[in-house]
A and B are shown apart, each in its own frame.
Chain A
């Protein structure tokens, strides 16, 4: 304590001066304006950034959002720097300028994010509509074309992925959606393209079918007789009387219907000119009612022999037979081994009006491809 008083006594001559200077500093600090940090502006900048973040400007207007964040951070750094200076020498002009720019840029990023989301929504809607159109084309034109299992799986997977994209967009989680939609589009485009190639190649036989049909109708008119024309592509059984079209009935075919029948078990419905040789009903058929056709005809047998020689089919193949028009159809798919199936009601109608000897002309199509498919 004594030492302390000694030091205090030593300094006491300066003490009064110190007290006066300190008091003067404090009083002047109250009375004189010194530079103040722009606190309200800082708060506004924070709020603007927060709003931009809520609107996910970090995702949808990333450039301007990052710029706004950088400006704000710079302002905070400048604030700290100015704090290190003596109070009267502080200058917050640069900080203020940065905060003002941060606010305007954050507001811009918020606006851009909203715009981008709207535009993205519109863009995705267009892309999805385009892809759905392609799926619709498949359903309309190519659904019945037998494709391999790999493509069937791909088609099903593409449909699932399209649904996933729509769900992502609905949940506003759009990361990766663009790429996924591209892949889906590529898948369905590829399947449609392959199907189109298959069907175009098939329809190269159209001139032959057209002649078969015309000849048969002329004959029906000349003989004043009935005629059945089976249009495989459109899944229709067209009924003529005396050369005049009367009505059509929907049908189902063999699961591998595309193309002419080559051999037993290939599940193809044959193409050519046939006739009803037997009418079956009751215990004579398990298919409600049936018309047995005279497959194989002469042309079928010639083709079969040619294909054996050419090695298109194996030597132990048989040409097949028992091709009928029968009932028990309406299964919603091509299910027969090559026969033409109708629902029982329609088979009843045919059975009543058609006799043994009625010509049955089976063709790929009664219309040209350009009338059936928008190419």
Chain B
């Protein structure tokens, strides 16, 4: 009897001590924070802002559950650990999405720069082929200012691409492409007018 009381007296406090001393999952917290930092470094806040903010919100929510557990006598971080693992995976996915988005934009920009360069070259060729002398093509020559401006804009877009300012680079390249097409169309029309006027 006395031994049984002794055992119960030892076991119950022992169990209490064991369950109320669950360790804060510091490693998992650090891992999740590091994963979020990686997503941020990958430019997630700029290129995939909605899912990045959702990720930050998930982490805040998880930290709240941990803080809640910290205040309890019988702490259990099992749920929090599972959430931290989920946040870590989510962060990895967000980083991947950000990189994919960046790559997509870079490819888009590179293609547009190539197209614009080709369009400018074609426009310059049209101007070069224009009749010289009094029958020369001032209307065509007037476009050289616009072509020069396009080249400047293209150079700026390329510089922004190299410094990873992708959004600004994309906008410059987009506008340059639209303008290049417009100039090219106008030049062809002017050349056509020249030919029909000569007839």
Contact = CB atoms under 8 A, between A and B. Distances in A.
Contacts, number: 129
A15 B5 contact: yes
B149 A153 contact: yes
A39 interface: yes
A87 B149 contact: no
B39 interface: no
A160 B171 contact: no
Given A16-B9, A46-B61, A337-B134, A82 B198 contact: no
Nearest to B63: A76
A333 B134 contact: no
B16 interface: yes
Counting chain B residues whose Cβ lies within 8 A of the other chain, the interface size class is 35 or more
B145 A149 contact: yes
Given A16-B5, A160-B176, A164-B171, A54 B53 contact: yes
Given A8-B6, A153-B149, A18 B13 contact: yes
B148 A43 contact: no
Q: Helix, strand, loop or mixed for chain A's interface?
A: helix
Interface stretch (A129-137, A166-174, A229-237, A308-316): A166-174
Interface string B125-163: 000000000111111001011101110110000000000
B190 A332 contact: yes
Interface string A146-180: 00010011011101100110011001010010000
B197 A12 contact: no
Given A12-B6, A54-B53, A332 B148 contact: no
Interface residues of A, number: 54
A142 B104 CA distance: 43
Nearest to A8: B6
A54 B13 contact: no
B67 A160 contact: no
Given A29-B73, A46-B60, A337-B134, A153 B9 contact: no
Interface string A27-39: 0010000000101
A157 B61 CA distance: 49
Contacts of A167: 171, 174-175
Given A15-B9, A18-B9, A328 B145 contact: no
B78 interface: no
A317 B172 CA distance: 47
B117 interface: no
A168 B9 CA distance: 73
Contacts of B54: 50
A339 B137 CA distance: 15
A216 B142 CA distance: 35
Interface string B46-64: 0000100110110011011
Nearest to B152: A157
Contacts of B67: 37, 76, 79-80, 83
Given A46-B57, A53-B53, A328-B197, A8 B10 contact: yes
A344 B80 CA distance: 86
Contacts of A46: 57, 60-61, 64
Interface of B: 2, 5-6, 8-10, 12-13, 16, 50, 53-54, 56-57, 60-61, 63-64, 67-68, 70-71, 73, 134-139, 142, 144-146, 148-150, 152-153, 167-168, 171-172, 174-176, 178-179, 190, 193-194, 197-198
Closest 7 A/B residue pairs (Cβ)? A333-B139, A152-B145, A156-B149, A15-B9, A83-B71, A157-B149, A335-B138
Interface of A: 8-9, 12, 15-16, 18-19, 22, 29, 37, 39, 42-43, 46, 49-50, 53-54, 76, 79-80, 82-83, 87, 90, 149, 152-153, 155-157, 159-160, 163-164, 167-168, 171, 173, 176, 255, 328-337, 339, 343-344
